[in-house]
Amino acid sequence: MPRRGKRVKRRQGKRGRIRTAPASRRTMPFQSRPNRASAYGTRVERDTMGELAVPASAYYGIQTARAVHNFPISGLRFPRSFIRAMGLIKWAGATVNEALGLLDKKLAEAIRNASQEVVDGRWDGEFPVDIFQTGSGTSTNMNANEVIANRAAELLGGARGSKLVHPNDHVNLGQSSNDVIPTAIHVAAIEMMQRQLVPALKHLHEALAAKGREFDPIVKVGRTHLQDATPIRLGQEFGGYARQIELGSARVRQAITALSEVALGGTAVGTGLNTHPEFARRVLALVSREIGCQLKEAANHFEAQSTQDSVVEASGELRTVAVSLMKIANDIRWLGSGPRCGFGEILIPDTQPGSSIMPGKVNPVIAESVTMVAAQVIGNDLTITVAGQSANFELIVMLPVMAYNLLQSIELLARAVENLAVRCVEGIAANAERCRDSIEESLAMCTALAPEIGYDAAAAIAKEAYQTGKTVREIARSRRVLPEARLEILLDPWRMTEPEGEPPKR
């Protein structure tokens, strides 16, 4: 884990002292105060609202227990990526507070070690608070503070619930839920985008581009409005898909840039009350090193905490990627439809039996799974958009659901994109014979004749071809509208797939 930052000599005076509770509530340094445990395996803790029983084995404390009791809503919990981000912030906070002379060395070391365990996922089960909770995410910030404080106390030889390491005074020193939670959302999203989504999009782009090159010699009928249109090369279609994903990757990188400016340092309302002016900058330098992205303190903390426009923007970029995936996946389904009574222009890898009643049927299940992911991401974006509007004065009050939906969208997209590349696109083959046969049957072939014989004459040929079941080529020959040599040039399908005047590239 990160090396400890350079320590500076502890400053004296009011700002440099470790903050302690009033004498009536102060714990003895590095000693455990006995807990009152019941016969049912609980310990009794006290906060400003009174006493409450907490499971004796829990690392979380009374405020987390209250939140679990108050929000029995969904069973949805913050994902691993978010808990890791919280651990990183708390780890860096202890390191910086020690360096600033605000936190005792032994306390800081214990908090760092406990935070590291949170970063590593050792205590994920100790984060039981529902997503649908206080809109600032205070319950989850306190959940992290309590878990780290109790584990740090244990590392110092104390007991859970002893407040030997205080969740507010020590672990949360220089912080507020109002700047920590939005910062954690950004950190978690950036890490997931960089480590999961961007590589997956790169893989899919490469797979589609490779198919574009492989299928470039194959000419087929184009389609607009699901009706026959002028010819196109199968490779050109797949090249279009590849470009969509390439642009999607650029959009995700833009989202990372938007998320790199974070709220830490603003504390309660953006004024930075109760935090050292160097705290945020130093913490973000440490966290940046760990996630491989340069974070920066918000240019305006009042904007950073009263809104989450950057999360709304990032979700919008993910929605656009989802829309691209929906188009690509549906095209793959259509192009592979059949195998005998559909388009059947591509052959999709068989992955599993497709029917419980029709033997031998195989469905485009990978593409279908992608369309469902796309629908979920689009729905998540709507929730995030509504949540982004719920910013009242100095605080946005739907942070937990924004976090959950954003991080879910990233994870779903990353997995679906990788799966589409591996289990579908890389194994697609072209049905060249079917593509070739459909070209000659297309009535849109007459389009190439229009510049020389006129739109109305070309339309008449198409109408007769449709009525008689003959091809455009056959009707044009029978009507002798152009010399045979010129007709062959104009009705060359490959020529129709190139810019005007360029020779065929076969």
- C-alpha dist (Å) from residue 503 to 4, 22, 439, 487, 494: 66, 87, 19, 15, 9
Asked if 219 and 233 count as a contact pair (C-beta separation under 8 A), the reply is yes
Distance CA(197)–CA(314), nearest Å, equals: 13
Structure tokens at 459: 């339309």
Q: What angle do CA 216, 221, 223 make, to 5 degrees?
A: 115
Distances (CA, A) of 126 to 52, 67, 117, 122, 150: 17, 13, 12, 9, 11
Residue 302: phi and psi, rounded to 5, are: -70, -35
Q: What is the DSSP letter of 339?
A: S
Mean pLDDT of 158-175: 97
Identify the active-site residue in 38, 57, 74, 355.
Answer: 355
- Report pLDDT for 340: 87
Asked whether the predicted pLDDT for residue 31 surpasses 60, the reply is no
Taking only the tens place, the pLDDT of each residue in 70-106 is 999 999 999 999 999 999 999 999 999 999 999 999 9
The residue count of the chain comes to 506
Share of the chain above pLDDT 90, in %: 87
Helix, strand, or coil here: 171?
helix
Given 225, 301, 369, 478, the catalytic residue: 225
Cis peptide upstream of residue 339 (ω within 30 degrees of 0) = yes
pLDDT at res. 499: 83
Phi, psi of 54 (to 5 degrees): -125, 140
Mean pLDDT of 3-19: 38
Which candidate, 350, 389, 402, 394, places its Cα nearest to that of 133?
402
Average pLDDT on 35-39 reads 42
Using the predicted structure, report yes or no on whether residue 63 has a pLDDT greater than 50. yes
Q: For the chain, how big is the Rg over CA atoms in Å?
A: 31
Residues 6+ apart with CB under 8 A from 4: 95, 98, 112
Output the pTM of the full model. Answer: 0.89
Does 23 score more than 70 pLDDT? Answer: no
The pLDDT tens digits of the residues spanning 410-469 come to 999 999 999 999 999 999 999 999 999 889 899 999 999 999 999 999 999 999 999 999
Token readout for 345 is 């222009």
317's tokens: 């970029």
Q: Residue 345: which pLDDT band, with cuts at 50, 70 and 90?
A: very high
User: H-helix or E-strand containing 346?
Assistant: strand 346-347
| Domains of the chain, start order | 23-173 (1.10.275.10), 180-279+294-430 (1.20.200.10), 442-497 (1.10.40.30)
* 74 vs 438: CA distance, rounded Å: 52
Walk across the sheet containing 42-47 and list its strands. 36-37, 42-47, 50-55
Categorize the per-residue pLDDT at 506 as very low, low, confident or very high, splitting at 50, 70 and 90. Answer: very low
- Known catalytic membership, residue 355: yes
**Residue 25 binned pLDDT confidence (cut-offs 50, 70, 90):** very low
Determine what percent of the chain is predicted with pLDDT higher than 70.
Answer: 91
Q: Round to whole Å and give the CA distance between 76 and 133.
A: 11
- Lowest-pLDDT range of 256-260, 304-308, 352-356, 394-398: 352-356
